[in-house]
Amino acid sequence: MKHAIAAAALGLFAALAALAQSPDFARKPPAWQVALEASKEVAAGEAIATKGKGAALACAGCHGAKGVPAAGAPFPRLAGLPVEYFAKQLFDYRDGIRANAIMGPIGKALADAEIASLAWYYASLEVSAPRATASADQPQRGWQLARYGDNALALPACVDCHGGDVTGGGPVLPGLAQPAAYTAAQLSAFRDGERKNDGDGIMQAIAKRLSDADVKALADYYAER
């Protein structure tokens, strides 16, 4: 290694001149962000949500008339989701980054502007979280994981990132108040590598350290929020 050090010390300026580079530290904005900025037509979104559009079935059919699914249904609440999260998910369905047999074709049937309109529409709806009546098996475990995490498993609390149960923690970090079946399905999908649209794999890694009982405890906890 000595020769390398010497070269670096003596020939440094020459070497650097040859290395002339123009590092670009800026990133292109994601396509969903561009779409959201370009189109904010809530009424157009409402029309697609209630009537559908071609191969895209009406959202309301599964997700409820005002974005809140029927009690016991395995579909997520859409009302009050941040526009950014909503749009990113539909882009991901469309692009196959988030795989789902029902949502994939729906995403493919929607143009950028239509996804944006739907996002603005659902964000405009009054937030009312579904409330489960079933009591949780392990309320203490669900509460612990959600609020404090688990030191031995190196799990941070859900609320660290996801913030308020309904309002969420940020544009792409939704509140986790959702039907138990949906939450459990998503955690399982992250754990089994079926859902991978979580950036560098932050949720996949977390879900892999959750037991089946932990998944159920969290699903029950967030169903009650």
**Per-residue binding letters, 142-171, with other proteins (x by CB under 8 A):** xx---xxxxxxxxxxx-xxxxxxxxxxxxx
| # binding residues, other proteins (CB under 8 A) | 66
CB 78, CB 118: distance < 8 Å: no
126 binding other proteins? (CB under 8 A)? no
65 binding other proteins? (CB under 8 A)? no
Q: Which residues of 46-76 are buried (b: 16+ CB within 10 A; e: fewer)?
A: bbbbeebbeebbbbbebbbeebbbeeebebb
Nearest CB to other proteins, comparing residues 20 and 43: 20
| Angle subtended at Cα 186 by Cα 133 and Cα 140, rounded to the nearest 5 degrees | 50
In the region spanning residues 21 to 60, those forming contacts with other proteins, defined by CB under 8 A, are: 21-27, 29-30, 33
CB of 73 to other proteins, least distance (A): 22
CB of 136 to other proteins, least distance (A): 9
Nearest CB to other proteins, comparing residues 67 and 142: 142
- What burial class does residue 194 get, using C-beta atoms within 10 Å of its C-beta: 0-12 exposed, 13-18 middle, 19+ buried? middle
199 binding other proteins? (CB under 8 A)? yes
- CA distance linking residue 75 with residue 125, whole number of Å: 17
- CA distance linking residue 135 with residue 224, whole number of Å: 8
Q: Which residues bind other proteins (CB under 8 A)?
A: 1-5, 7-9, 12, 15-16, 19-27, 29-30, 33, 84, 139-140, 142-143, 147-157, 159-173, 175, 199-202, 204-206, 209, 221, 224-225
